[in-house]
Amino acid sequence: MLRLGVNIDHVATIRNARGTPWPDPLRAARIAEEAGADGITAHLREDRRHITDDDISRLMDELRLPLNLEMAATAEMQRIALRHRPHAVCIVPEKRQERTTEGGLDVARDEAGLAEFIAPLRDAGCRVSLFIGHQPDQIRAAARIGAAVVELHTGHYCDLDTEGATAARDAELQALREGAALAHSLGLEVHAGHGLTFDTVGPVAAIPELAELNIGHFLIAESVFLGLAGAIGEMRRKMQQARE
């Protein structure tokens, strides 16, 4: 079965826009659970622009679903993760000025540093995931340093979902398929995410080696129109359809 992790960062973005306690990301996580999400993902960014430390504490204390904590490879984030010991920790590259996570981690460039960074997280019982592109050298490096999971960045594929970009989109999808097959053959659990929508999820969900998709911004945006449970239900339906 293909699992769905719902990223609730942008519930916090709306809350923080007005400095009110609402909308509450924990409430969103509970609704996501009732609507059939298999996990909750939250990115504690260094600038705390959406999810806050208090959100992570409340999610850890009160949520029944597994939490996938996305974070940069910094000493501060490592301390926070070791304090909470979430089910999974997904290491992402982070730049202050970016609007969202623009690319994957360069695992191949800093294998030794990342290996050292993830070792205590693994020892603490967290499933360590690395958010990377589909390049074979990155996938092989992730396997070498002992990550349990790689999450393949689907942002570029989703950006190509425009008229006239068919050939480039097909090539990107094929590269994602090959990346997923390679990662799986190396013993890694394979996830994917970033930028997925009702229109783009199908071909990605159909990749047989994928175990989990993490989807956030579109679901929260669509919940304005469909309600959060409605948006999650429709996404699940499209994922299921792609697997049949």
Rule CB under 6 A: say whether 7 interacts with ligand PXP. Answer: yes
Q: Which residue has the tokens 């504690």?
A: 44
191 is catalytic: no
Please report how close the Cβ of residue 115 comes to ligand PXP at its closest, in angstroms. Answer: 20
Whole-angstrom CA distances from 54 to 24, 57, 138, 232 are: 11, 5, 33, 25
CA distance 44 to 211: 23
Rule CB under 6 A: say whether 90 interacts with ligand PXP. Answer: yes
CA distance 219 to 227: 9
Dihedral sign (CA 179, 196, 94, 124): negative
Rule CB under 6 A: say whether 87 interacts with ligand PXP. Answer: no
In the list 172, 177, 195, 207, the residue contacting ligand PXP (rule: CB under 6 A) is 195
Q: Which residue has the tokens 């050298």?
A: 137
Please report how close the Cβ of residue 195 comes to ligand PXP at its closest, in angstroms. Answer: 5
Please report how close the Cβ of residue 104 comes to ligand PXP at its closest, in angstroms. Answer: 9
CA distance 146 to 143: 5
Rule CB under 6 A: say whether 218 interacts with ligand PXP. Answer: yes
Rule CB under 6 A: say whether 49 interacts with ligand PXP. Answer: no
Type of residue at 89: V
C-alpha R_g of the chain = 17
Phi, psi of 70 (to 5 degrees): -90, 140
In the list 92, 107, 176, 183, the residue contacting ligand PXP (rule: CB under 6 A) is 92
Smallest Cα–Cα separation from 12: which of 57, 72, 52?
52
The percent helix, strand, coil of the chain (3-state, each to 5) is: 50, 15, 35
Catalytic-labelled residue, pool 184, 194, 212, 222: 194
Please report how close the Cβ of residue 242 comes to ligand PXP at its closest, in angstroms. Answer: 17
In the list 4, 6, 9, 63, the residue contacting ligand PXP (rule: CB under 6 A) is 9
Rule CB under 6 A: say whether 45 interacts with ligand PXP. Answer: no
In the list 70, 172, 189, 222, the residue contacting ligand PXP (rule: CB under 6 A) is 70
> Which 8-state DSSP code applies to residue 100?
S
Please report how close the Cβ of residue 166 comes to ligand PXP at its closest, in angstroms. Answer: 22
CB nearer to ligand PXP: pick between 88 and 182: 88
Contact region for ligand PXP (CB under 6 A) — 135-143, 159-167, 169-177, 192-200? 192-200
- How many chain residues bind ligand PXP (CB under 6 A)? 19
CA distance 189 to 180: 9
CA distance 227 to 179: 34
Please report how close the Cβ of residue 98 comes to ligand PXP at its closest, in angstroms. Answer: 11
- Residues with active-site annotation: 43, 70, 194
In the complex, the residues that contact ligand PXP under the rule CB under 6 A are 7, 9, 43, 70, 90, 92, 100-101, 131, 151, 193-196, 214-218
